[in-house]
């Protein structure tokens, strides 16, 4: 799926979520064993319930059918971001400053593609991460995936 198409989906989903007093956290399109998955993560103060996911899924499915040409089959999944909340916006790197995170980069930096540590924020396009005694700076554009580590800080990348 092209980035342009994902942007169109994000735009539709964000407008829908705002109308329902929810936050669009992240949108991703992946090929998995069961086929192509369009995964949409949503949240709201107090958390998301199954009824929220079902409501957004029905409405978003209808919007996608109307506004986007469907040239390939996919499954739509709408869910809570969970304990390992993915980062979908640059602002998330400030919002979750001080939290344990897992970051994957598109290409190796200093021989590594997976990073785990305490997020120190983002400044001038550079994400700062405290890894043990070392501070690592990663260009935001080099990040392919970033998410909170689980609440116990286990499960490194």
pLDDT digits over 67-117, tens only? 877 667 889 999 999 888 999 889 999 999 999 999 999 999 989 999 999
Domain that holds residue 12: 3-79
Residues 72 and 109 in one domain: no
For residue 100 the two structure tokens come to 């344990």
- pLDDT, tens only, 9-59: 999 999 999 999 999 999 998 899 888 999 999 999 999 999 999 999 999
Whether residue 11 is found in the same domain as residue 71: yes
Asked if the structure places residue 87 within a domain, the reply is no
């Amino acid at each position: 799926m092209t980035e342009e198409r994902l942007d169109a989906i994000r735009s539709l989903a964000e407008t829908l979520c705002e109308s329902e007093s929810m936050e669009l956290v992240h949108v991703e399109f992946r090929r998995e064993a069961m086929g192509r998955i369009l995964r949409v993560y949503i949240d709201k103060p107090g958390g998301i319930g199954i009824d929220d996911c079902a409501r957004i899924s029905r409405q978003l499915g209808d919007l996608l059918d109307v506004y986007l040409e469907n040239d390939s089959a996919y499954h739509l999944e709408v869910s809570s971001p969970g304990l390992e909340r993915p980062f979908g916006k640059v602002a998330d790197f400030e919002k979750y400053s001080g939290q344990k995170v897992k970051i994957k980069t598109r290409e190796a930096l200093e021989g590594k593609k997976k990073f785990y540590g305490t997020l120190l924020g983002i400044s001038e396009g550079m994400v700062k991460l405290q890894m043990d005694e070392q501070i690592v700076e990663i260009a935001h554009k080099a990040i392919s995936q970033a998410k909170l580590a689980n609440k116990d800080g286990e499960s490194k990348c």
